[in-house]
Amino acid sequence: MINRAKLQRLAAREGTPLLIIDHDIIRANFLKLRKHLPRVQLYFAMKANPEPMIIQTLHHFKSGFDVASLQEYQTVLENIPKKDLRGHKLNDFIWDKIIVANTIKPVATLQQITGYNTLMTFDNAYELEKIKQHCPDAGLVCRLRVQNVGSVVELSSKFGVEPGDAANLIDRSFDLGLTVEGLSFHVGSQCCNIDNYLNALEASAEIFKEVRKRGHKMRLLNIGGGFPVPYDGSVPDFEGLADKLRKEIDRLFPKSIQILAEPGRFIVATAATLIVEVVGKSFRDDKWVYYINDGVYGTLSGVIFDHIPYHFNAFKRGDKKLSAVVGPTCDALDTVSTAEMLPELAIGELLFVKNCGAYTNGSATTFNGFPKAKILNINA
C-alpha cells in the first residue's frame, strides 16, 4: 500500500476521483496463488477488473484469462503481444490463454470466436444446441451447481447443472459430436467457507467417475474463483485454505487431470486505492454527511453489486465523529456508508478507500453525467 504522502501527491497531480492501481501488488497476489496452488493453471477473471494494463502484467506471468463477453475476449487478444499468438496452430493457441466462463453466450459471439478452439462453459442443453451450430470447435466445460453457503456473492441461483444431471448432459454433448473437456464450478465470490470447495471437489470427482464409466474421458477440472480477500480480520487466511484445497485436489484427481482456476478478486482487490474529494457537506439526522465526487454509481458500485462495505480514511487527524458518506448523484441510493468515524472535514478535503481493485471501475457508470474516476497504473 502506498503511503499517505504519496497518495496526496498523486491526487494533487492527477485530480480526483482517482483510482490508483499498483501492479506490484497484482504481481504479488498472483505469485501467492501460484505458490500455494502450484498445480493450478490460473485464468484471471477479467470481470473483476477489466483494465487492459492488468492483462499485460499478468500475461508476463503466463496467466490465462477468464472472459464473459466478446468485448473481453477481444481486449485480451489486443493486449497479448502478437508474437505470442504466432507460431501456434490456430486450433490450439487460445486454449491456455482464454476460457469463456459465461455459461450463456449470444449466437453472434459464438460465430465470432469459432475457429479458435476456445474453452467455454455450459450448463444446459439449449446452450449445447447453439454451440453445435455456431462454434462446434469449442472445448466444452460443464459447469456444476455447487453449494455457495457463506460466500458473500452467491452464484448458484443462476448457474450450473445439478450434479445429479451432469453425466446425462455430458452424454448429450458427446452425442451431438461435441467434446466435453471437463467440469467447472464456482463456490461464490469471497468464499469464507472452505466446505464449499471441499464438497464441490467431492461432487466433481464422482461425476468424473460416472462419465468415465459411460466411456468418455475428461481431462480438466476448473475450480473457479472465490478465493477470499482479507477486507477485515474475520476472513480466513488464504494459506490455510489453499493448503486444504491442494491436498484434496491431489487426493481426488490424478496428475493427468489438469486443474484450472479463475481467480478475480484475490488478484486485484488489494491492489487499488481510490481517492475522492468532499464536494459538499451538511448536518442531517445528528451526523455529518459528506458528499463526495464518486459513489455507488461510480467506482463504489460494489456496495450494491458486490455486497462489499467500503470504509473511508481521512488524511487529516482530529476527533472522530459519526458521519455518512454519499455519492454526487441525485439518487439517495447513492449512499456509500451511513456510519463512518471521521474527523470533521471541509469541502475540498480528500478521503481515500483501500482495497478498491475488484468489481469497482468495471461496473462504474457515468449516471447523471458524473465522469468515472481516472485510473492511474503504477509500477506497471
Ligand X SMILES: Cc1ncc(COP(=O)(O)O)c(C=O)c1O
Q: What is the contact surface with ligand X in residues (CB under 6 A)? A: 45, 47-48, 66, 101, 155, 186, 189, 224-227, 262-266
Residue 84 phi, psi (nearest 5)? -80, -15
- 70 burial via Cβ count (<10 Å: 0-12, 13-18, 19+): middle
In the complex, least distance from residue 187 CB atom to ligand X, rounded to whole angstroms: 8
Closest to ligand X by CB, 141 vs 167, is 141
Known catalytic residues? Answer: 330
Give the integer Cα–Cα distance in Å for 82 and 85. 5
Give the nearest distance from C-beta 254 to ligand X in angstroms. Answer: 25
| Residue least distant from ligand X (Cβ) | 225
Any residues with CB less than 8 A from the CB of 258 and at least 6 apart, and which?
41, 182, 219, 220, 221
How many whole angstroms separate alpha carbon 51 and alpha carbon 250? 34
Identify the residue whose cell numbers are 501456434.
88
Nearer to ligand X, 64 or 163 (CB): 64
Cell representation of residue 203:
461432487
**296 contact partners, CB below 8 Å, separation of at least 6:** 303, 304, 327, 329, 331, 333, 334, 335, 336
Q: What is the DSSP letter of 46?
A: G
* Residue nearer to ligand X on the CB measure, 48 or 353: 48
In the complex, what is the shortest distance from the CB of residue 66 to ligand X, in angstroms, rounded to a whole number? 5
3-state secondary structure of 376: strand
- Contacts for 100-106 with beta carbons within 8 Å, 24 or more apart? 100/66, 100/67, 100/68, 100/73, 101/43, 101/45, 101/66, 101/67, 101/68, 101/184, 101/222, 101/262, 102/67, 102/68, 102/69, 103/127, 103/143, 103/159, 103/160, 105/130, 105/131, 105/135, 106/70
State which residue, 160 or 327, has the beta carbon closest to ligand X: 160
In the complex, minimum distance from the CB of residue 48 to ligand X, in angstroms, rounded to a whole number: 5
When the beta carbons of 95 and 174 are compared against ligand X, the nearer one is: 95
Give the nearest distance from C-beta 264 to ligand X in angstroms. Answer: 3
349 CB contacts (<8 Å, ≥6 apart)? 277, 278, 314, 315, 316
* Bridge pairing between strands 179-184 and 18-22: unpaired
Q: Which is nearer to ligand X, 224 or 298 (CB)?
A: 224
Shortest Cβ 226–ligand X spacing (Å): 4
